[in-house]
Amino acid sequence: MSENPHTLFETWFAEARAAEPNDSEAMAVATVGADGQPSVRMVLLKGHDERGFVFYTNLESRKADELAAGPRAALLFHWKSLRRQVRIEGPVERVADAEGDAYFATRSRDSQLGAWASDQSRPLESRAIFEARYDAVRARFEGMEVPRPPHWSGYRVVPERIEFWQDRVHRLHERRLFVKREGGWDEGLLYP
């Protein structure tokens, strides 16, 4: 088989972008808190290459707290229209500031302002409070470029394991597992 899992992912991801009606870049991110409690949520893939898979978030969010306590994560892409999924596991590292700045600059202005206004994952007494904070941030940056907040950046999941799952009839699915080894990847099959 000896295929590069990043090349295979790019092929599947391109097919998903063409076939999925919404959010082909949506992925579940699973983390574990210091108390051992797992947590999973949906985020958007914002970059991938041989170094790993990147998403962005508030650095004061629950997921960021959990990644600080245990810098490992699992990702799951599920492309229902293609009857495929990809599972990725590995350590997590912060992206460089320049990379975070570059991505932040591509976001819509409203999304940039929202990153300043939100205390992500913290209790919110009312929607009106959040909307007032957003309005205050919008006024603060009126007529200016919105810089990346210091509490907002990205994480890269550096894959150690990548599994490609393809649905087959009678639940005789195909599962290809790539495991990172010194100098490359080992590839094998798993029973469905």
Which sequence positions are flagged as catalytic?
171
Nearest to 33 by CA among 90, 87, 72: 72
> In whole angstroms, what is the distance from residue 24 CA to residue 15 CA?
9
The one-letter code for the residue type at 180 is K
- Which of 108, 117, 107, 88 shows the shortest CA–CA distance to 154? 107
Would you state the structure tokens that stand for residue 74, as one six-digit string?
């699992």
Measured between alpha carbons, how far is 141 from 146 in angstroms, rounded to an integer?
Answer: 6
Torsion of CA 146, 151, 152, 156, to 10 degrees: 150
Torsion of CA 179, 80, 44, 126, to 10 degrees: -130
CB proximity list for 123: less than 8 A, separation 6 or greater? none
The two tokens of residue 24 are 């082909």
